[in-house]
Structure 1
Amino acid sequence: MIRGIRGATTVENNHADEIVQRSAELLADLVQQNGIQPEDIVSVFFTVTEDVTEAFPAKSIRELEGWTYVPVMCMREIPVPDSLQKCIRVMVTAETTKDQADIHHIYHHEAQELRPDLKR
């Protein structure tokens, strides 16, 4: 079965190193919490808010061992008034035997406010 796994994080500053680091932390937690391997992943889509411009979050994947062939794309989030700023969101589609209710969606830092209903 292919499932979508969501996650998000925020950065304090629009600095390339922080964007890559926070994206890597988010992805590592998402993969670990859901017990998936790079070869299980169909694709990864990152979005960023308008104020995240100094690096592609996908760069974080290219630094991880075993992720060379994982398809990744970055896009810009729509600019909704009063939405969370300096936010990086991710959607990972992966093959898994988990039921939908057993998927762990991961939200770090200020992004935890996006889905308080998913806190475990």
Structure 2
Amino acid sequence: MTSSPLVLRGLRGATTCMDNSMEAIEEAVSSLMDALMDRNHLTPDQLVSVTFSVTTDLDACFPAAIARRRPGWDAVALLDCQQMAVQGDLPRCIRVLAHAWIPGDQTPVHPYQGEAQRLRPDRSGHN
């Protein structure tokens, strides 16, 4: 554990779903949240808020409802919204913006998984 003071950071990430089903969305959200938490060495009490945005082709369930079931996430502010529709955008995509307290000397890791790796090729080695 570091002795560096905690700073509030925005953590980004994204993933894609195989299809528009509750099961596919649950699998994608769980995998993305596991990566975000594990790779940034986070505990739920470090999270302030998490906003999920989804493309218009995903409407089988709310990603925040899936995240809300995670142990210790009852105090985390969660929000779902619809991603702006842009021609040619990546289909079946879930994006996340999380605000978390992390040590100031820790480099944030922004996980991009599945086809969402195309959104941030500069992060493709860190997914």
Question: What is the TM-score of this pair, normalised by structure 2?
Answer: 0.89
Work out which of the residue numbers 44, 48, 51 in structure 2 matches 1:45.
Answer: 51
- Name the residue aligned to 1:117: 122
CA RMSD of aligned residues (A): 1.2
Contact 2:25 2:63 in 1 (8 A): yes
Cα shift at 1:99: 4.3
Contact 1:40 1:96 in 2 (8 A): yes
- Name the residue aligned to 1:103: 108
1:36 matched to 2:42: yes
Distance in 1 separating the partners of 2:56 and 2:104? 34
- Name the residue aligned to 2:90: 84
Distance in 2 separating the partners of 1:92 and 1:82? 26
Contact 2:40 2:109 in 1 (8 A): yes
Runs of at least 5 residues in structure 1 that lack an aligned partner in the other structure? none
Contact 1:3 1:93 in 2 (8 A): yes
Contact 2:117 2:123 in 1 (8 A): no
Question: How many equivalent pairs are there?
Answer: 119
Q: 3-state DSSP class of the match of 1:106? A: coil
Contact 1:21 1:60 in 2 (8 A): no
Identity of aligned residues (%): 38
Query: Displaced runs of 4+ in structure 1, greater than 3 A?
Result: none
Distance in 2 separating the partners of 1:18 and 1:8? 14
Cα shift at 1:17: 1.4
Contact 1:40 1:95 in 2 (8 A): yes
Runs of at least 5 residues in structure 2 that lack an aligned partner in the other structure? 1-6
When Rg is computed on C-alpha atoms for both structures, the one with the higher figure is 2
Distance in 2 separating the partners of 1:22 and 1:116? 19
1:66 matched to 2:83: no
- In structure 2, the CA distance between the partners of 1:118 and 1:99, relative to structure 1 (3 Å rule), is farther
